[in-house]
Structure 1
Amino acid sequence: MNQRQLVAFRAAMMLGSITAAAKELNVSQPAVSRLISDLEFSLGFALFIRQTGGIVPTAEATEFFREVDMMFYSLDRLAAVADEIRSLSRATVRFATLPMLSFKVAPLAIRRFQARFPAARVFQDVYTSARVLELVTSRQVEIGVAQTHERRSDFDILSTHHARCVCVMEPGHPLASATELTPQDLRDEPLIMLARHTQSASYITNAFADHQISPNIVSETQPSFAAGSMAAHGCGIAIIDELSAIALEGKVIAIPFKPEIPFDICILKPKNMPFSRAAEALHQELHEGIRDAIEQAAKGHKV
């Protein structure tokens, strides 16, 4: 018993004649008859009663056909599944990112991904860097975007993007025309600081300490977008990453802070966990989106 015999038998059952089966399969009628005869010999029972005007399936053929048809349905289903996998129409990608990317960079990356793969699904979680690292190392997400200087054995750093911090304020602020701002310039200004446990807050605190200036902190918050929103509403000047500043476009003026405060963004994946094709595609969109956003920010910071 082989597949060609089963194909000939199935066609004869479905079409009701050897002639029609031969035409459907684009082979000769004797070839189909021979395949069915060989199948009958292999099975040990007759499949059709040959009579003038056509063939009549035996009871055994009808019973056997149900199983054969189920087998072909399974093969057809496998072909359909393979096509869905190939086109990513059944793909799901899970990733976790920092809040700063969730307002503009990540949505644009997801939109580009969806334009390429309309049926694929994307699940995004937005957390602090510490939580993103937990999700990556526990393999709950395929991609993570976070701040980290750690080199650990349970995740891979795929790329690091070097952003910086800027001062943001409402457009009418007296310092809005400055080309850059230093701790000296901000000595008496009300400042909105990021939560003190964050990497950026420690860098900023050290910058003021190096200039022997005690900052006038009127508020402390997290994440960067919250600090920037407070600055946009006149609560003070916030020192935040430049990507959060871009997300506040039109609501704040962004001015470079000196000395430069780094804000490195890492794209991560779980160690020894190969990317799915969908995850690789989304990773590429995120990588390019972050790179382009930082380049945009570097062109000038009167946002």
Structure 2
Amino acid sequence: MKARKLRIHAPAIAYFDKVRRCGSFREAARSLNVASSAVNRQILKLEEELGAPLFERLPSGLRLTPAGEVFTRHVIAVMQDTERVSSELDALQGLRSGHVEIATVEGVTVDLLPAVIERMRALYPNVSVGVSSLGSTAIAAQISSGNADLGLAFALQRDNDLHQLVRGHFHLGAIMLPDHPLAQHRRLSFATCAAHPLILAKEELSIAHLLRPAMNHSPQWGRAVVETSSVELAKKLALRGVGIAFQTRIGIEDELRRGQLVHVPLVHNQPVLSDLGLYTRSQRSLPVAVDAFARMLVDEIARREQQEQEQEQAQSNGHTLIL
């Protein structure tokens, strides 16, 4: 059953939102299925009422003015609150429909996120999910702009526009083949790993920033054999024996279960931890479908954090925990 589409705000709000997303009056009009002149009239009317231009008309396209940036924050709140009201009305009628848009890092798309989507589909088959895979540094902008309802990212820097729903602590470790000379270690420093070929993350990934202090204290290490912005590629290269890669256990669950890879936690004075957080826009009331999906993600992150802690405890006691 299709979710209702409420229109309880002035058309100019929807027109402005579409223009800022499309960056063009013509594209916005095409998306809204109206004439370009109608879109232009609505924007001009808004600018007259606000007493300031909302867009700079440049040869390369449209760009928000400072007034446009301020108005954008209001429009995002209005549009998202309308979505929430629509979702709650649907829930009252038992429709259980809606849409969830999530921006996420690549690693969680391997096992964690599919598990949650599968559970969501079983309970709410009329809820659709949109997934964008990005680096951690790009996810905050997607949430702030209203392009994503939720963001799932490692080691995201504090941002006043974001509200953190949960944070799980996971060990960043060296991943390698089971027959690698370092595979039997309980802990490893970056300096020890650096005596072997390395597969490193590019700057757009949070892994690079987590490794930076340890790298700075290991001046003797040379260049990586591969640098990549894809954790999936890094994993594949580690499986082929190209070198040591650095990741959390999130995203390599199957390879660890099958014994194809070994994950050895990194230490730099203390364990190197990567925080996996779930985020939404500050002061936003979540629609029913988004809230249900967020709760499932919170539970799954907490479960996997507990699972890792139990595994660490079992290993410290000299036992192997089978997951």
TM-score range (shorter-chain normalised) is 0.5 to 0.7
The percentage of counterpart residues that share the same residue type is 21
Counterparts of 2:92 and 2:205 in 1: how far apart (Å)?
A: 41
Match of 2:145 in 1: 138
In the TM superposition, what whole-angstrom CA distance separates every residue of 1:277-297 from its partner, at most 9, and x where no partner exists? 111110011111122223333
TM (normalized to structure 1)? 0.66
Question: What is residue 286 of structure 1 aligned with on the other side?
Answer: 297
Map of 1:258-297 to 2, 5 A cutoff? 258-259=267-268, 260-297=271-308
- 2:231 aligned partner: 224
Report matched runs for 1:1-303 at 5 Å. 86-215=93-222, 217-249=224-256, 250=258, 251-259=260-268, 260-298=271-309, 299-300=311-312
SS at match of 2:198: strand
- For residues 219-265 of structure 1, give each alpha carbon's deviation from its aligned partner in whole angstroms, at most 9, with x where no partner exists: 11122232122101111011112213325333311111122222112
- The AA in structure 1 aligned to 2:193 is L
SS at match of 1:185: helix
Q: Note closer, same or farther for the CA distance 1:287–1:86 as it changes in structure 2 (3 Å cut).
A: farther
Cα distance in 2, alignment partners of residues 112 and 271 from structure 1: 26
Aligned-pair CA distance for 1:99: 0.6
Residues 59-97 of structure 1: per-residue CA shift (max 9 Å, x gap) = xxxxxxxxxxxxxxxxxxxxxx96665434322111111
Contact 2:191 2:221 in 1 (8 A): no
Structure 1 counterpart of 2:102, which letter? Answer: F
> TM-score when scaled to structure 2?
0.62
Give structure 2 stretches of 5+ with no counterpart: 1-87
How far apart in 2 are the matches of 1:254 and 1:157? 28
Q: CA RMSD in A?
A: 2.4
Instruction: Give the Cα separation in 1 of the matches to 2:110 and 2:92.
Output: 30
Q: For residues 213 and 206 of structure 1, do their structure 2 counterparts lie closer, same or farther at Cα, with a shift above 3 Å needed?
A: farther
Shift in CA distance, 225/271, structure 1 to aligned 2, threshold 3 Å:
same
1:127 and 1:293 mapped to 2: Cα distance?
Answer: 22
| Residue type of the alignment partner of 1:292 | R
Query: Max radius of gyration: which structure?
Result: 1
Shift of 1:197: 4.3
Q: 1:84 to 1:231 in 2, by over 3 A?
A: same
Measured after TM superposition, the shift of residue 185 of structure 1 is 2.5
Q: Partners in 1 of 2:166 and 2:90 — Cα distance?
A: 32
Structure-2 separation of matches of 1:82 and 1:196? 44
Cα distance change on mapping 1:101 and 1:212 into 2, 3 Å: same
- Tell me the amino acid that sits aligned with residue 98 of structure 2: A
The SS at the match of 1:94 is strand
Aligned amino acid, residue 287 of structure 2: S
Indicate conservation of the 8 Å contact 2:137/2:156, yes or no.
no
> Partner letter of residue 294 of structure 1?
E
Distance in 2 (CA, whole Å) between partners of 1:97 and 1:85 is 30
- Whole-angstrom CA distance in 1 between matches of 2:158 and 2:165: 12
Letter matched to residue 257 of structure 1: L
Q: Which residue of the partner structure matches residue 8 of structure 1?
A: none
Native 8 Å contact 2:97 2:127 kept in 1:
yes
SS of the equivalent of 2:297 reads: helix
The alpha carbon displacement at 1:168 in A equals 0.6
Give the 3 Å change call, closer, same or farther, for CA 120–196 of structure 1 in structure 2. Answer: closer
Look up the equivalent residue of 2:136 and give its one-letter code. S
Whole-angstrom CA distance in 2 between matches of 1:186 and 1:176: 11
